[in-house]
Amino acid sequence: MSPTPRRHVNFSRWIATGAILGFAIGGIVSMRGPRTTTYSANAELGFMGIAFALFGGLIAAIIAVLVAGRAGRS
């Protein structure tokens, strides 16, 4: 019998995907939310996009670690 190659998780792809999705969701939230007089629409888009991108990358990294741990057991 030949051993099957072990599959591994590409963490950078998971994190990048989570950050991109987070930025998109942050953009949608900033455009749909109430308008402020303190910041321009572009500044609000940038702030919310970056905040949601960081959060999305963090969540994606956690999911990738869980998937990698599960793949190592089987």
Contact indicator for 64, 15 with CB cutoff of 8 Å: yes
pLDDT exceeds cutoff 80 at 1? no
Quote the tokens at residue 27: 């953009």
Instruction: Decide which of 55 and 37 is more confident.
Output: 55
Greatest Cα-to-Cα distance within the chain, rounded to the nearest angstrom: 69
pLDDT tens for residues 4-53? 666 677 899 999 999 999 999 999 999 888 887 788 889 999 999 999 99
| pLDDT, position 15 | 95
Q: How many CB atoms lie within 10 A of CB 60?
A: 21
Write down the domain spans for the chain. Answer: 11-73
CA dist list (Å): 1 to 4, 72 = 9, 20
Q: What value does the mean pLDDT take over residues 46-68?
A: 95
| pLDDT, position 21 | 97
What beta strand segments (E) does the chain contain? none
